[in-house]
Amino acid sequence: MHLILRDFWWPKIRKDVEKYVNTCPVCQRSKIRREKPSGLLHPLPTPSRPWEIISADFITDLPPSCGFTTILVVVDLFTKLAHFIPCEGLPTAQETADLFLQHVFRLHGLPKSLVTDRGSQFTSRFWKALQKLLGIDSRLSSAHHPQTDGQTERTNATLEQYLRCYVNYQQDNWASLLPLSEFAYNNGVQASTKETPFFANYGFHPRFFPPVIETSEVPAAEDWLQELTAVQQLLLQQLEQAKEDYKRHADKHRQPGPEIKVGDRVFLSTRFLPSHRPCRKLDARFIGPYPVVAQLNPVTFKLQLPRSMRIHPVFHRSLLLPADGVRPDTDQPAPPPVLMNGEEEFEVEDILDSRFHRRRLQYLIDWVGFGPEERSWEDASTVHAPDLTRRFHQTYPAKPRPRASGRESQFGRGLEEGDSVMTHGPCSPAHDIVMPDEEENFWTNFYICFY
């Protein structure tokens, strides 16, 4: 601002300059945000009885122990009672259902809700159909936001800490330690309930040391039932209080953030997205903007993403940045496609990278008139940009390139200089173009004349 004021002045200059900078699309994608994460804590509902709402998660990539390499952790949200189940590798959806039958259902019956991450076991068609038939409500965490299932994540950390203390040097005896680990965890007082999971679930403490003084008094069954009911009512009050305390503490490090509504455009954080560029430190911090198509709860939103991204489109508020607006000189509509031989084709701005995917050469295309979010991998046989292709391989000779040997090639016939630099459009919601099979022979021996 000081540099501009040295040579210029007009009414409301500061407001105009701030608006210009805040609506710069490059700045919004690239600058690091120095504020608290947006989106206040939105706790899960409090269950009214034991094993009504449970959560599940896997601890994977453990060294082999008695033939097991994975642990399935199941936790009850009411009593905090946990089961640690060893698995022979990461189970499939059907194998996971068998584990629940053997270790959870036979002891506690069917839950009303199940909280999990977005693992393939819990998003498969088999698992969804099974939960629907059993009347179980599925509560999947949003993308890259494990805090949704924070209870199980915390239980995982406690279990891993216990195993680190007692596992042998070769780390191959952890499976034999799981029964004692489960007992120790369930016999420890929980901060949220002020009781042990064992006592909260069964109404008495387990005996694991010889009693100092023998007692012969046995309470009546009615007294025991009343005591258990009173304990569970106390647990409900303690859980509600713990949830309020946890939310108050968590919100100290968060802020509500600007309001986001359906129809708004937002930038998406690249923190958890894969990057194909050489250095993540120099990559954009946000991509987009993308329109918001639905609000699932106060802190979870569904975006309209390009098909080429192939990720779950639901994100937590902390990963979204409202677009402050776009300057008139940058908000240009995408150019219409050009019809060639009855097919829609789009102009290539630049070729950014190359790779072999399923034995086919592909290029990462930057399209004329489209933002970075519309970049897509396209088969070399559909890219008709010989000058850009030649320049890319001259600049990056080590990158994958067309094979020059053989009479037949998937890359099409050679083009003369001056031919149209056009190709089929990006796989976006508005464009899903595939070259017809009858045209493939027309592009036979494509790059051979150049290489």
Residues 59 and 198 reside in one and the same domain: yes
Q: Is the pLDDT of residue 167 over 60?
A: yes
Give the predicted TM-score (pTM) of the model.
0.51
Hey, how many other C-beta atoms are within 10 angstroms of the C-beta on 144? 16
Residues 60 and 187 reside in one and the same domain: yes
Residues 87 and 188 reside in one and the same domain: yes
Residues 344 and 317 reside in one and the same domain: no
Domain boundary among 346, 377, 395: 395
Residues 203 and 154 reside in one and the same domain: yes
Distance of CA 39 to the CA centre of its chain: 17
- Minimal CA–CA distance to 38: which of 319, 323, 325, 324? 319
Q: Percentage of the chain surpassing pLDDT 70? A: 66
Q: Hunting for tokens 């890219």 — which residue is that?
A: 383
378: domain CATH number is 2.40.50.40
Q: What pLDDT score was predicted for residue 191?
A: 77
Q: What pLDDT score was predicted for residue 253?
A: 64
Q: Is the pLDDT of residue 152 over 70?
A: yes
What is the C-alpha to C-alpha distance for residues 338 and 20, in angstroms, rounded to an integer?
A: 34
Q: Is the pLDDT of residue 188 over 90?
A: no
* Any domain includes 223: no
Residues 16 and 68 reside in one and the same domain: no
Domain range for 21 is 1-34
Residues 203 and 69 reside in one and the same domain: yes
pLDDT (tens digit, 9 = 90+) per residue, 30-61? 766 666 666 666 666 778 888 999 999 898 88
Residues 8 and 122 reside in one and the same domain: no
Residues 70 and 193 reside in one and the same domain: yes
Half-sphere exposure of 163 (CA within 13 A, CB side): 23
What is the C-alpha to C-alpha distance for residues 121 and 88, in angstroms, rounded to an integer?
A: 15
Residues 58 and 164 reside in one and the same domain: yes
pLDDT (tens digit, 9 = 90+) per residue, 361-408? 999 888 887 777 678 888 998 888 888 999 999 988 889 988 765 544
Q: What pLDDT score was predicted for residue 423?
A: 45
Residues 85 and 167 reside in one and the same domain: yes
* Any domain includes 247: no
67: domain CATH number is 3.30.420.10
- Cβ pair 442, 390 in contact under 8 A: no
As for how many domains the chain has, the answer is: 4
Residues 155 and 277 reside in one and the same domain: no
